[in-house]
Each structure stands twice: as structure tokens, then as C-alpha cells.
Amino acid sequence: VRIDNPSLTTRLNDQDSRDPLRVIIDSRLRIDPEAKIFEQQSNAGTWIFCTSRAPEEKQDILCQAGAVIYRVSATEKGRVDLTNVLQILGENNITSLLVEGGAAIHGSFLSQGLVDEVYLFLAPFFIGDTGLPLLKGYSTVMPDLTVRLKDVTVQQFGEDSLIHGIFS
């Protein structure tokens, strides 16, 4: 949210579509209180999960902007404990989560074994080593320790490909 300032809303035009609950992981509440997610004409809420290191003053500002703040335990590296986040979401009957973000959050979910399935879009070009990595904080040296996908499907959307698979 800090980097690309997304709306995190649905763009579907049918009457049955609804915006999802926006769940943001921000260990120190560095998110801008004027971000697009706070400017929505939406009934969907915005929940932000942070650690105790986040400033109280910033929490108050974000609450005034419309967010609900959850302070959760931190990992050894000072990041939000994702298991704690999922526990709170489950207690609120939220049992499905689409993780949209960068390499660090994707790597964290994967390395903690918190991923059931994956949807991966691929564009038909290579950026090279100046591009952003897909995962950060997750690697395996042994081929037998790699996480494998089953029931893999591939769909074309224009020039882009969507790969979907279930983690085995």
C-alpha cells in the first residue's frame, strides 16, 4: 500500500459484486492516512495489523481515517506475526485471504507454510536483474524440500498468463 497506493476494491460492474475487507500488514504503521484505501465510498472495512513498535499517535490518525488497528505479536525480526493475524481473521469468520503485495509478504507467507494455493500472473517479457523478485525471505537449496504445486492450470488473458495451482 505504501509503494503503489492501490484502491483494493473490486472493479466488477454487476450488482452482486462487493468490495473485500482490506487487510493490511504494516508492522510500524508507516501507511499514509491519505492513501486511496481511506478515500473509498465503500462499505468494506480496512483492518491494519501492526506490532507494539508502531506509534500510538499514528494509530489514532489511522483510526480517524477509518481503519481498525490490531496490535499483534512480532516475529524475531520485528515483523507482524502472520499466524497471529490469521488467528484473528479466523475468529472473525474470515477463512479465505488473497495476499496481494511484494516479494517480502509473499515470501513470509510461503516460508511459514501459510499458503494453500497460488495464482501467479506472468507477462510475456523478461526484465532481468533490475526487476523486483517474486519472493524474498524464502529459498530452498534441496530440490526435495521445494514446495510443489498440483492441479496446475494455465489461462491466457491477452498476452498475460495466469498460473493457478494447489500446494501439495
What per-residue confidence (pLDDT) applies to 10?
66
| Pairwise CA distance, residues 6 & 77, whole Å | 26
Which whole number is the average pLDDT over 32-58?
87
| pLDDT tens column, 69-91 | 999 999 998 999 999 999 999 99
Percent of the chain topping pLDDT 90? 47
Burial annotation 115-153 (CB, 10 A radius, 16+ → b, else e): eeebeeeeeeeeeeeeeeeebebbeeeeeeeeeeeeeee
Residue 39 pLDDT > 70, yes or no?
yes
SS3 category, 38:
helix
The CATH number of the structural domain formed by 1-98 is 3.40.430.10
SS3 category, 157:
strand
Residue 30 pLDDT > 90, yes or no?
yes
| Pairwise CA distance, residues 152 & 163, whole Å | 7
| Pairwise CA distance, residues 84 & 70, whole Å | 10
Domain(s) of CATH 3.40.430.10: residues in the chain: 1-98
